[in-house]
Amino acid sequence: MSQIHQRLTTLVSEAGYRSDEPIVVGMRQGGAPPVLLAQGLSVTAATLAYAASLSKQMTAACAALLAQDGALDMESTLSRWLPHLPAWAGTIRLRHLVHHTAALPIDAEIDALITGDADRTTPGIIRALGQFPDLDRRPGTEHVYSNAGYVCLAAVVERAADMPLPDFAQHNLFVPLAMADTRYWPGPDPTPPGAAPLARLHPAPLSLGDGGVWTTVSDLLRWGQALNADELGISGLLQTPGRLDDGRPIDYAWGVGVRSHAGHRVYRHGGGWTGLRALHARVPDLDLSVALLAINDHTERRVPLLDALLDEVTSSSFPSKDERA
């Protein structure tokens, strides 16, 4: 076992994961082969799993591609694209959706209007939004994380692209980047063929944009390295933090949180659903990508594990990418 693999095993254990818990952790730096750790029953770097909110950065990438091509004006209003929503949609700009500043109702309020898992679809969530006559806040004045905002953004992408989001992403993201196992899954079955099942009583929602992507750790590492290398030509835009309408900056870019670690800019996002925890992070100036998928996990051990791994990467005790090549 290599030195880095030994350290990764130790870090996973120190974060509180037992050896029998199904978790896959991977990291890749530069052109070196990925370093992977898979433990627990029947999970590997090729295990297909629900990405939950990691999907948001891919939805944002679809919007960025359309914006770059002039097909989508991020200053246009939500009502321009979804005219059947109440009048408040005319006060929301698409950039508000991207940066979670749209002042949409919180998830709990929307969920109260959804009758069951079968209605956690894009149409179901948009129907629920249509039942709110007014917004509690003015868009652009506050950063409040919103799954519904990304459901709306995905619906806008479909209208601007004139094709379903799964098809647009396949043609413009996943095929060009050789992410052969990654897809948006709109159902009707709760999981795509061959995927790791979630908790039986809590199937993944079928809404697209806020979630909807099923992927593997191998593909997530490929995604991170592609963005680090700007292979899609939109990384600069995706990494640009948002601002409130009064100019105040926020620490959220296009589908990713913006953090720092040991002087390095880190773009990261978590994903969670009942029985699943996911995490993706990348550090462009280190050409580093990290991904984690934990099946049957109901805890919050991801971020301490990521921080410990970043400590190792930025310390002299961590093998350089030349030593690992």
Pairwise CA distance, residues 217 & 14, whole Å:
21
The reported pLDDT for the residue numbered 325 is: 40
Checking if the pLDDT of 71 tops 60, the result is: yes
Evaluate if residue 236 carries a pLDDT over 50.
yes
Could you report the per-residue pLDDT of 21-68, keeping only the tens digit for each? Answer: 899 999 999 888 899 999 987 889 999 999 999 999 999 999 999 999
pLDDT: which is higher, 295 or 72: 72
Q: Where are the domains of the chain?
A: 3-324
- In the sheet with 213-215, reading across from the earlier edge strand, the strands are 49-50, 213-215, 183-184
Pair of tokens at residue 110: 């929307």
What letters, b where the CB count within 10 A reaches 16 and e where it falls short, cover 194-227? ebbebeeeebbbbbbbbbbbbbbbbbbbbbbbbb
The predicted model gives 90-115 an average pLDDT of 94
Angle between helices 55-68 and 147-161 (to 10 degrees): 40
| C-alpha dihedral, 214 to 217 to 218 to 219, nearest 10° | 30
- pLDDT for position 2: 67
What is the pTM assigned to this prediction? 0.93
In this predicted structure, what is the pLDDT of residue 117?
56
pLDDT at residue number 229: 97
Which fold does the domain 3-324 belong to in CATH?
Beta-lactamase (3.40.710)
The answer to whether residue 196 scores a pLDDT higher than 90 is no
CB 239 within 8 A of CB 252: no
The DSSP annotation for 131-186 comes to: T--S-SS-TTS-----HHHHHHHHHHHHHHHTS-HHHHHIIIIITTTT-TT-EE--
Q: Is 303 helix (H, G, I), strand (E, B) or coil?
A: helix
Average pLDDT, the chain: 91
Is pLDDT above 50 for 324?
Answer: no
Beginning with the edge strand found earlier in the chain, give each strand of the sheet holding 35-39 in spatial order: 35-39, 23-29, 288-295, 276-283, 264-273, 257-261
Whether the CA torsion 161, 164, 167, 170 is positive or negative: it is: positive
